[in-house]
Structure 1
Amino acid sequence: MLQFDDVHVGYGRSIVLHGATLEVPTDGVAAVLGHNGAGKSTLLRAAAGLLKPRRGMIRMDGEDITRLAPHQRVARGMAYVPQGQQSFPHLTTAENLQLVADGRRDGRAAVAEALDLFPALRELMGRRAGLLSGGQRQQLAIARALITRPRLLLLDEPTEGIQPSVVAEIEQTIMAVAARGGMSVLLVEQHVGFALTAAERYYVLEAGRVTSSGAGGREAEGAVREALTV
Protein backbone atom coordinates (compact mmCIF):
# COMPACT_ATOMS: atom_id res chain seq x y z
CA MET A 1 0.00 0.00 0.00
CA LEU A 2 2.81 2.43 0.87
CA GLN A 3 6.45 2.22 -0.15
CA PHE A 4 9.43 4.38 0.75
CA ASP A 5 12.37 3.88 -1.61
CA ASP A 6 15.66 5.49 -0.54
CA VAL A 7 13.87 8.56 0.86
CA HIS A 8 15.93 11.47 2.19
CA VAL A 9 14.10 14.23 4.08
CA GLY A 10 15.31 17.24 6.02
CA TYR A 11 14.64 20.67 7.46
CA GLY A 12 16.68 23.47 5.93
CA ARG A 13 20.23 22.20 5.56
CA SER A 14 19.77 19.39 8.09
CA ILE A 15 18.94 15.92 6.75
CA VAL A 16 16.82 13.87 9.16
CA LEU A 17 15.91 10.79 7.10
CA HIS A 18 18.84 9.13 5.34
CA GLY A 19 17.71 6.75 2.62
CA ALA A 20 14.66 5.29 4.37
CA THR A 21 13.30 2.22 2.62
CA LEU A 22 10.22 0.44 3.96
CA GLU A 23 6.76 -0.72 2.99
CA VAL A 24 3.31 -1.02 4.54
CA PRO A 25 1.47 -4.21 3.56
CA THR A 26 -1.91 -3.93 1.88
CA ASP A 27 -4.65 -4.38 4.51
CA GLY A 28 -1.94 -4.75 7.16
CA VAL A 29 -0.04 -2.83 9.82
CA ALA A 30 3.60 -1.75 9.75
CA ALA A 31 5.20 -0.25 12.86
CA VAL A 32 8.13 2.15 13.00
CA LEU A 33 9.95 2.23 16.32
CA GLY A 34 12.82 4.30 17.62
CA HIS A 35 13.93 6.74 20.27
CA ASN A 36 13.02 10.42 20.35
CA GLY A 37 14.77 12.23 17.54
CA ALA A 38 15.20 9.11 15.41
CA GLY A 39 13.13 10.59 12.56
CA LYS A 40 9.82 8.76 13.08
CA SER A 41 7.54 11.81 12.93
CA THR A 42 9.56 13.18 10.00
CA LEU A 43 8.89 9.95 8.14
CA LEU A 44 5.12 10.29 8.72
CA ARG A 45 5.12 13.95 7.72
CA ALA A 46 6.85 12.97 4.48
CA ALA A 47 4.25 10.24 3.90
CA ALA A 48 1.46 12.79 4.44
CA GLY A 49 3.04 15.28 2.05
CA LEU A 50 3.92 17.87 4.69
CA LEU A 51 7.63 17.48 3.91
CA LYS A 52 9.10 16.99 0.45
CA PRO A 53 11.88 14.42 0.00
CA ARG A 54 15.26 15.66 -1.17
CA ARG A 55 15.75 12.32 -2.87
CA GLY A 56 13.93 9.02 -3.30
CA MET A 57 10.37 8.01 -4.07
CA ILE A 58 7.15 7.44 -2.12
CA ARG A 59 4.45 5.26 -3.69
CA MET A 60 0.89 4.63 -2.59
CA ASP A 61 -0.78 1.60 -4.11
CA GLY A 62 1.84 1.65 -6.86
CA GLU A 63 1.39 5.33 -7.73
CA ASP A 64 4.27 7.78 -7.33
CA ILE A 65 2.95 10.35 -4.83
CA THR A 66 6.31 11.92 -3.98
CA ARG A 67 5.33 15.36 -5.29
CA LEU A 68 1.61 15.28 -4.52
CA ALA A 69 0.18 17.86 -2.10
CA PRO A 70 -1.38 16.69 1.18
CA HIS A 71 -4.95 17.22 -0.06
CA GLN A 72 -4.22 15.10 -3.13
CA ARG A 73 -3.04 12.26 -0.87
CA VAL A 74 -6.19 12.62 1.23
CA ALA A 75 -8.25 12.34 -1.96
CA ARG A 76 -6.49 9.04 -2.67
CA GLY A 77 -7.52 7.66 0.72
CA MET A 78 -4.81 8.73 3.17
CA ALA A 79 -5.59 9.93 6.70
CA TYR A 80 -3.04 11.29 9.16
CA VAL A 81 -3.39 11.45 12.96
CA PRO A 82 -0.47 13.57 14.20
CA GLN A 83 1.10 13.41 17.61
CA GLY A 84 -0.59 15.22 20.49
CA GLN A 85 -4.28 14.15 20.63
CA GLN A 86 -5.27 17.04 18.37
CA SER A 87 -8.85 18.31 18.22
CA PHE A 88 -10.85 21.54 18.11
CA PRO A 89 -10.93 22.19 21.87
CA HIS A 90 -13.84 24.66 21.91
CA LEU A 91 -16.11 22.33 19.94
CA THR A 92 -17.94 19.38 21.45
CA THR A 93 -17.07 15.79 20.67
CA ALA A 94 -20.12 15.61 18.40
CA GLU A 95 -19.12 18.79 16.56
CA ASN A 96 -15.57 17.54 16.06
CA LEU A 97 -16.92 14.38 14.45
CA GLN A 98 -19.53 16.23 12.41
CA LEU A 99 -16.93 18.57 10.92
CA VAL A 100 -15.36 15.57 9.21
CA ALA A 101 -18.68 13.92 8.32
CA ASP A 102 -20.24 17.03 6.72
CA GLY A 103 -20.37 16.77 2.95
CA ARG A 104 -19.99 13.00 2.93
CA ARG A 105 -22.88 10.96 1.57
CA ASP A 106 -22.27 8.32 4.22
CA GLY A 107 -21.38 10.79 6.96
CA ARG A 108 -24.00 9.67 9.47
CA ALA A 109 -23.15 5.99 9.00
CA ALA A 110 -19.41 6.74 9.22
CA VAL A 111 -19.88 8.57 12.54
CA ALA A 112 -21.94 5.67 13.89
CA GLU A 113 -19.23 3.19 12.89
CA ALA A 114 -16.52 5.30 14.54
CA LEU A 115 -18.56 5.43 17.75
CA ASP A 116 -19.00 1.66 17.62
CA LEU A 117 -15.20 1.40 17.61
CA PHE A 118 -14.84 3.91 20.46
CA PRO A 119 -18.07 3.53 22.47
CA ALA A 120 -16.73 5.64 25.35
CA LEU A 121 -17.17 8.69 23.12
CA ARG A 122 -20.96 8.24 23.04
CA GLU A 123 -21.19 9.52 26.61
CA LEU A 124 -19.02 12.52 25.75
CA MET A 125 -20.82 13.85 22.68
CA GLY A 126 -21.92 17.05 24.41
CA ARG A 127 -18.61 17.74 26.14
CA ARG A 128 -16.10 20.16 24.70
CA ALA A 129 -13.01 18.39 23.39
CA GLY A 130 -10.74 20.61 25.46
CA LEU A 131 -12.25 19.11 28.62
CA LEU A 132 -11.60 15.50 27.62
CA SER A 133 -8.74 13.46 29.04
CA GLY A 134 -5.71 12.77 26.88
CA GLY A 135 -6.91 9.25 26.17
CA GLN A 136 -10.38 10.46 25.22
CA ARG A 137 -8.96 13.12 22.90
CA GLN A 138 -6.78 10.48 21.24
CA GLN A 139 -9.79 8.27 20.65
CA LEU A 140 -11.60 11.28 19.19
CA ALA A 141 -8.66 12.07 16.88
CA ILE A 142 -8.56 8.51 15.54
CA ALA A 143 -12.36 8.38 15.21
CA ARG A 144 -12.29 11.57 13.12
CA ALA A 145 -9.71 10.03 10.79
CA LEU A 146 -11.73 6.82 10.44
CA ILE A 147 -14.84 8.77 9.40
CA THR A 148 -13.05 9.51 6.12
CA ARG A 149 -12.90 5.73 5.50
CA PRO A 150 -9.18 5.81 4.70
CA ARG A 151 -7.35 3.20 2.72
CA LEU A 152 -4.14 4.17 4.52
CA LEU A 153 -4.06 5.46 8.11
CA LEU A 154 -0.93 7.17 9.49
CA LEU A 155 -0.72 7.18 13.29
CA ASP A 156 1.97 9.14 15.15
CA GLU A 157 2.52 7.97 18.76
CA PRO A 158 -1.15 7.18 19.52
CA THR A 159 -0.30 5.86 23.02
CA GLU A 160 1.89 8.75 24.19
CA GLY A 161 0.88 9.94 27.64
CA ILE A 162 -2.22 7.73 27.80
CA GLN A 163 -3.37 5.47 30.62
CA PRO A 164 -2.83 1.70 30.05
CA SER A 165 -6.55 0.84 29.81
CA VAL A 166 -7.01 3.25 26.91
CA VAL A 167 -3.79 2.02 25.28
CA ALA A 168 -5.31 -1.49 25.21
CA GLU A 169 -8.53 -0.14 23.69
CA ILE A 170 -6.70 1.77 20.96
CA GLU A 171 -4.57 -1.30 20.21
CA GLN A 172 -7.67 -3.50 19.87
CA THR A 173 -9.36 -0.93 17.62
CA ILE A 174 -6.38 -0.63 15.28
CA MET A 175 -6.12 -4.39 14.99
CA ALA A 176 -9.88 -4.71 14.44
CA VAL A 177 -10.08 -2.17 11.62
CA ALA A 178 -7.00 -3.65 9.93
CA ALA A 179 -8.39 -7.19 10.25
CA ARG A 180 -11.65 -6.36 8.50
CA GLY A 181 -9.71 -5.41 5.35
CA GLY A 182 -9.72 -2.36 3.14
CA MET A 183 -7.27 -0.33 5.24
CA SER A 184 -3.53 -0.33 5.87
CA VAL A 185 -1.86 1.30 8.87
CA LEU A 186 1.56 2.90 9.31
CA LEU A 187 2.07 3.13 13.07
CA VAL A 188 4.84 5.20 14.64
CA GLU A 189 5.26 4.12 18.25
CA GLN A 190 7.67 3.86 21.18
CA HIS A 191 5.55 1.35 23.09
CA VAL A 192 7.28 -1.80 21.79
CA GLY A 193 4.76 -4.36 23.06
CA PHE A 194 1.79 -2.51 21.59
CA ALA A 195 3.51 -1.91 18.25
CA LEU A 196 4.61 -5.51 17.74
CA THR A 197 1.23 -6.93 18.78
CA ALA A 198 -0.50 -4.76 16.18
CA ALA A 199 2.04 -5.00 13.36
CA GLU A 200 2.81 -7.56 10.69
CA ARG A 201 6.08 -5.81 9.92
CA TYR A 202 8.37 -3.59 11.99
CA TYR A 203 11.18 -1.15 11.25
CA VAL A 204 13.60 0.38 13.75
CA LEU A 205 14.84 3.89 13.00
CA GLU A 206 18.07 5.20 14.46
CA ALA A 207 19.39 8.64 13.52
CA GLY A 208 17.19 8.68 10.42
CA ARG A 209 18.27 5.26 9.14
CA VAL A 210 16.44 1.94 9.15
CA THR A 211 18.77 -0.22 11.23
CA SER A 212 16.56 -3.27 11.74
CA SER A 213 13.37 -4.76 10.29
CA GLY A 214 11.41 -7.98 10.35
CA ALA A 215 8.09 -9.70 10.88
CA GLY A 216 5.91 -8.34 13.67
CA GLY A 217 4.48 -10.23 16.64
CA ARG A 218 5.56 -10.40 20.27
CA GLU A 219 8.19 -13.01 19.42
CA ALA A 220 10.16 -10.18 17.76
CA GLU A 221 10.30 -8.14 20.96
CA GLY A 222 13.76 -9.35 22.00
CA ALA A 223 15.31 -8.46 18.65
CA VAL A 224 13.63 -5.05 18.62
CA ARG A 225 14.72 -4.16 22.15
CA GLU A 226 18.26 -5.21 21.28
CA ALA A 227 18.18 -3.01 18.16
CA LEU A 228 16.94 -0.09 20.26
CA THR A 229 19.82 -0.41 22.73
CA VAL A 230 22.59 -0.47 20.13
Structure 2
Amino acid sequence: MLELDGLHVGYGRSLVLHGVSLSVPDDGVAAVMGHNGAGKSTLLRAAIGLLKPRGGRVLLGGEDVTRLAPHERVARGMAYVPQGQQSFPHLTTAENLQLIADSRPDGKAATADALDLFPALRGLMGRRAGLLSGGQRQQLAIARALITSPRLLLLDEPTEGIQPSVVAEIQETILSLTRRGGLSVLLVEQHVGFALRAAERYYVLESGRVTSSGAGGQEAERDVRQALAV
Protein backbone atom coordinates (compact mmCIF):
# COMPACT_ATOMS: atom_id res chain seq x y z
CA MET A 1 0.00 0.00 0.00
CA LEU A 2 2.77 2.45 0.90
CA GLU A 3 6.45 2.42 0.05
CA LEU A 4 8.97 4.96 1.24
CA ASP A 5 12.01 4.54 -0.93
CA GLY A 6 15.29 6.09 0.22
CA LEU A 7 13.77 9.21 1.78
CA HIS A 8 16.07 12.08 2.73
CA VAL A 9 14.11 14.73 4.63
CA GLY A 10 15.11 17.71 6.76
CA TYR A 11 14.38 21.16 8.09
CA GLY A 12 16.45 24.04 6.81
CA ARG A 13 20.03 22.87 6.61
CA SER A 14 19.49 19.96 9.00
CA LEU A 15 18.85 16.52 7.54
CA VAL A 16 16.62 14.38 9.76
CA LEU A 17 15.94 11.27 7.67
CA HIS A 18 18.88 9.63 5.93
CA GLY A 19 17.73 7.34 3.14
CA VAL A 20 14.83 5.73 5.01
CA SER A 21 13.02 2.91 3.22
CA LEU A 22 10.01 0.99 4.51
CA SER A 23 6.76 -0.53 3.29
CA VAL A 24 3.23 -0.91 4.62
CA PRO A 25 1.39 -4.07 3.52
CA ASP A 26 -2.04 -4.05 1.91
CA ASP A 27 -4.72 -4.32 4.62
CA GLY A 28 -1.99 -4.52 7.25
CA VAL A 29 0.05 -2.54 9.76
CA ALA A 30 3.65 -1.41 9.80
CA ALA A 31 4.93 0.02 13.09
CA VAL A 32 7.74 2.53 13.49
CA MET A 33 9.43 2.81 16.86
CA GLY A 34 12.32 4.82 18.20
CA HIS A 35 13.37 7.32 20.84
CA ASN A 36 12.34 10.97 20.84
CA GLY A 37 14.13 12.81 18.07
CA ALA A 38 14.69 9.69 15.97
CA GLY A 39 12.69 11.13 13.06
CA LYS A 40 9.39 9.27 13.43
CA SER A 41 7.05 12.26 13.12
CA THR A 42 9.19 13.69 10.31
CA LEU A 43 8.69 10.42 8.45
CA LEU A 44 4.90 10.67 8.71
CA ARG A 45 4.91 14.33 7.69
CA ALA A 46 6.92 13.43 4.60
CA ALA A 47 4.57 10.54 3.80
CA ILE A 48 1.50 12.79 3.83
CA GLY A 49 3.29 15.58 1.94
CA LEU A 50 3.77 18.22 4.63
CA LEU A 51 7.52 17.97 4.11
CA LYS A 52 9.18 17.75 0.70
CA PRO A 53 11.87 15.07 0.47
CA ARG A 54 15.32 16.09 -0.70
CA GLY A 55 15.68 12.63 -2.16
CA GLY A 56 13.75 9.40 -2.50
CA ARG A 57 10.15 8.57 -3.37
CA VAL A 58 6.75 8.05 -1.78
CA LEU A 59 4.64 5.39 -3.52
CA LEU A 60 0.96 4.87 -2.70
CA GLY A 61 -0.50 1.72 -4.17
CA GLY A 62 2.33 1.74 -6.70
CA GLU A 63 1.71 5.36 -7.75
CA ASP A 64 4.51 7.86 -7.24
CA VAL A 65 2.93 10.63 -5.13
CA THR A 66 6.19 12.31 -4.09
CA ARG A 67 5.33 15.57 -5.84
CA LEU A 68 1.66 15.65 -4.84
CA ALA A 69 0.31 18.12 -2.26
CA PRO A 70 -1.22 16.79 0.98
CA HIS A 71 -4.82 17.32 -0.19
CA GLU A 72 -4.07 15.37 -3.36
CA ARG A 73 -2.73 12.48 -1.30
CA VAL A 74 -5.84 12.62 0.89
CA ALA A 75 -7.98 12.43 -2.27
CA ARG A 76 -6.10 9.26 -3.18
CA GLY A 77 -6.90 7.64 0.14
CA MET A 78 -4.38 8.79 2.74
CA ALA A 79 -5.39 10.12 6.15
CA TYR A 80 -3.13 11.52 8.85
CA VAL A 81 -3.69 11.79 12.60
CA PRO A 82 -0.82 13.90 13.99
CA GLN A 83 0.55 13.71 17.49
CA GLY A 84 -1.26 15.67 20.19
CA GLN A 85 -5.00 14.86 19.95
CA GLN A 86 -5.57 17.74 17.55
CA SER A 87 -9.03 19.18 16.93
CA PHE A 88 -10.78 22.54 16.64
CA PRO A 89 -11.12 23.30 20.37
CA HIS A 90 -13.85 25.96 20.09
CA LEU A 91 -16.11 23.71 18.02
CA THR A 92 -18.23 20.95 19.46
CA THR A 93 -17.55 17.28 18.83
CA ALA A 94 -20.43 17.23 16.35
CA GLU A 95 -19.11 20.29 14.52
CA ASN A 96 -15.61 18.81 14.30
CA LEU A 97 -17.04 15.71 12.67
CA GLN A 98 -19.41 17.68 10.45
CA LEU A 99 -16.56 19.73 8.98
CA ILE A 100 -15.10 16.57 7.49
CA ALA A 101 -18.40 14.90 6.64
CA ASP A 102 -19.63 17.89 4.62
CA SER A 103 -16.79 17.41 2.14
CA ARG A 104 -17.60 13.75 1.54
CA PRO A 105 -20.43 12.31 -0.57
CA ASP A 106 -20.81 9.49 1.95
CA GLY A 107 -20.12 11.70 4.94
CA LYS A 108 -23.25 10.86 6.92
CA ALA A 109 -22.75 7.11 6.68
CA ALA A 110 -19.02 7.41 7.33
CA THR A 111 -19.70 9.52 10.45
CA ALA A 112 -22.12 6.92 11.77
CA ASP A 113 -19.53 4.21 11.17
CA ALA A 114 -16.83 6.21 12.99
CA LEU A 115 -19.16 6.77 15.94
CA ASP A 116 -19.85 3.04 16.08
CA LEU A 117 -16.11 2.55 16.56
CA PHE A 118 -15.97 5.23 19.27
CA PRO A 119 -19.42 5.11 20.91
CA ALA A 120 -18.30 7.30 23.82
CA LEU A 121 -18.31 10.27 21.42
CA ARG A 122 -22.09 10.01 20.97
CA GLY A 123 -22.61 11.37 24.46
CA LEU A 124 -20.19 14.24 23.82
CA MET A 125 -21.60 15.65 20.59
CA GLY A 126 -22.60 18.97 22.15
CA ARG A 127 -19.40 19.48 24.13
CA ARG A 128 -16.60 21.69 22.84
CA ALA A 129 -13.56 19.68 21.82
CA GLY A 130 -11.33 21.84 24.03
CA LEU A 131 -13.20 20.56 27.06
CA LEU A 132 -12.73 16.89 26.25
CA SER A 133 -10.14 14.72 27.96
CA GLY A 134 -6.99 13.79 26.08
CA GLY A 135 -8.35 10.32 25.37
CA GLN A 136 -11.66 11.71 24.10
CA ARG A 137 -9.86 14.18 21.84
CA GLN A 138 -7.75 11.37 20.42
CA GLN A 139 -10.85 9.34 19.67
CA LEU A 140 -12.31 12.40 17.95
CA ALA A 141 -9.13 12.92 15.91
CA ILE A 142 -9.12 9.32 14.67
CA ALA A 143 -12.87 9.43 13.97
CA ARG A 144 -12.42 12.56 11.85
CA ALA A 145 -9.71 10.82 9.81
CA LEU A 146 -11.87 7.73 9.30
CA ILE A 147 -14.74 9.81 7.88
CA THR A 148 -12.59 10.31 4.77
CA SER A 149 -12.80 6.52 4.20
CA PRO A 150 -9.04 6.15 3.81
CA ARG A 151 -7.20 3.15 2.47
CA LEU A 152 -4.07 4.20 4.38
CA LEU A 153 -4.11 5.71 7.88
CA LEU A 154 -1.02 7.40 9.34
CA LEU A 155 -1.11 7.46 13.15
CA ASP A 156 1.46 9.41 15.17
CA GLU A 157 1.64 8.25 18.80
CA PRO A 158 -2.12 7.59 19.17
CA THR A 159 -1.79 6.42 22.79
CA GLU A 160 0.63 9.06 24.09
CA GLY A 161 -0.46 10.91 27.23
CA ILE A 162 -3.80 9.14 27.50
CA GLN A 163 -5.34 7.48 30.53
CA PRO A 164 -4.81 3.66 30.54
CA SER A 165 -8.49 2.75 30.21
CA VAL A 166 -8.81 4.77 27.00
CA VAL A 167 -5.44 3.52 25.71
CA ALA A 168 -6.83 -0.02 25.73
CA GLU A 169 -9.96 1.12 23.87
CA ILE A 170 -7.97 2.95 21.19
CA GLN A 171 -5.63 0.01 20.76
CA GLU A 172 -8.54 -2.41 20.29
CA THR A 173 -10.21 -0.07 17.80
CA ILE A 174 -7.04 0.11 15.69
CA LEU A 175 -6.75 -3.67 15.73
CA SER A 176 -10.41 -4.10 14.77
CA LEU A 177 -10.02 -1.67 11.87
CA THR A 178 -7.22 -3.71 10.36
CA ARG A 179 -8.97 -7.03 10.95
CA ARG A 180 -11.99 -6.08 8.86
CA GLY A 181 -9.86 -5.29 5.82
CA GLY A 182 -9.72 -2.39 3.39
CA LEU A 183 -7.35 -0.31 5.52
CA SER A 184 -3.59 -0.20 5.93
CA VAL A 185 -1.93 1.59 8.86
CA LEU A 186 1.49 3.16 9.36
CA LEU A 187 1.73 3.38 13.14
CA VAL A 188 4.27 5.39 15.12
CA GLU A 189 4.02 4.09 18.66
CA GLN A 190 6.01 4.03 21.92
CA HIS A 191 4.14 1.06 23.43
CA VAL A 192 6.28 -1.76 22.03
CA GLY A 193 3.94 -4.56 23.04
CA PHE A 194 0.93 -3.02 21.33
CA ALA A 195 2.90 -1.98 18.25
CA LEU A 196 4.18 -5.51 17.69
CA ARG A 197 0.80 -7.06 18.39
CA ALA A 198 -0.73 -4.87 15.69
CA ALA A 199 2.01 -4.93 13.07
CA GLU A 200 3.05 -7.33 10.35
CA ARG A 201 6.30 -5.39 9.97
CA TYR A 202 8.26 -3.22 12.37
CA TYR A 203 11.01 -0.66 11.88
CA VAL A 204 13.25 0.93 14.52
CA LEU A 205 14.56 4.41 13.75
CA GLU A 206 17.70 5.82 15.32
CA SER A 207 19.00 9.26 14.34
CA GLY A 208 16.99 9.20 11.13
CA ARG A 209 18.08 5.75 9.97
CA VAL A 210 16.41 2.35 10.07
CA THR A 211 18.62 0.33 12.40
CA SER A 212 16.39 -2.72 12.83
CA SER A 213 13.40 -4.21 11.03
CA GLY A 214 11.55 -7.48 10.78
CA ALA A 215 8.28 -9.33 11.06
CA GLY A 216 5.88 -8.17 13.75
CA GLY A 217 4.38 -10.29 16.51
CA GLN A 218 5.17 -10.70 20.17
CA GLU A 219 8.14 -12.96 19.42
CA ALA A 220 9.95 -9.90 18.04
CA GLU A 221 9.65 -7.92 21.29
CA ARG A 222 13.02 -8.97 22.67
CA ASP A 223 14.83 -7.91 19.49
CA VAL A 224 13.02 -4.58 19.38
CA ARG A 225 13.73 -3.76 23.02
CA GLN A 226 17.38 -4.58 22.47
CA ALA A 227 17.45 -2.29 19.43
CA LEU A 228 15.84 0.51 21.41
CA ALA A 229 18.28 0.04 24.26
CA VAL A 230 21.27 0.89 22.09
In the other structure, the counterpart of 2:33 is 33
Task: Show the 5 A alignment for 1:124-163.
Answer: 124-163=124-163
In the other structure, the counterpart of 1:204 is 204
Task: Show the 5 A alignment for 1:149-228.
Answer: 149-228=149-228
In the other structure, the counterpart of 2:57 is 57
Deviation at residue 106 of structure 1 after TM alignment: 1.5
Write the deviation string for residues 160-193 of structure 1: whole angstroms up to 9, x where unpaired: 1001111111111111111111110000111111
**Residues in 2 aligned to 1:57 and 1:103: alpha-carbon distance in whole angstroms:** 29
In the other structure, the counterpart of 1:10 is 10
Letter of the 1:34 partner, please give it: G
Deviation at residue 34 of structure 1 after TM alignment: 0.2
Q: Scaled by the length of structure 2, what TM-score is found?
A: 0.98
Runs of 4+ residues deviating >4 angstroms: none
Judge which range, 144-153 or 213-222, deviates more. Answer: 213-222
Q: How many percent of aligned residue pairs carry the same amino acid? A: 82
Write the deviation string for residues 119-158 of structure 1: whole angstroms up to 9, x where unpaired: 1111111111000000000000000000000010000010
Judge which range, 103-112 or 39-48, deviates more. Answer: 103-112
- Structure 1 spans left out of the alignment, 5+ residues: none
In the other structure, the counterpart of 2:105 is 105
- Structure 2 spans left out of the alignment, 5+ residues: none
Judge which range, 140-149 or 217-226, deviates more. Answer: 217-226
**Residues in 1 aligned to 2:161 and 2:50: alpha-carbon distance in whole angstroms:** 24
Letter of the 2:2 partner, please give it: L
**Residues in 2 aligned to 1:194 and 1:163: alpha-carbon distance in whole angstroms:** 15
Q: Which secondary structure does the structure 2 equivalent of 1:88 belong to?
A: coil
Q: Which secondary structure does the structure 1 equivalent of 2:108 belong to?
A: helix
Q: What root-mean-square deviation, in Å, do the aligned CA atoms of Structure 1 and Structure 2 show? A: 0.7
Letter of the 2:215 partner, please give it: A
**Residues in 1 aligned to 2:171 and 2:200: alpha-carbon distance in whole angstroms:** 14
Q: Which secondary structure does the structure 1 equivalent of 2:41 belong to?
A: helix
Say how many residue pairs are matched.
230
Q: Scaled by the length of structure 1, what TM-score is found?
A: 0.98
In the other structure, the counterpart of 1:90 is 90
Letter of the 2:169 partner, please give it: E
In the other structure, the counterpart of 2:76 is 76
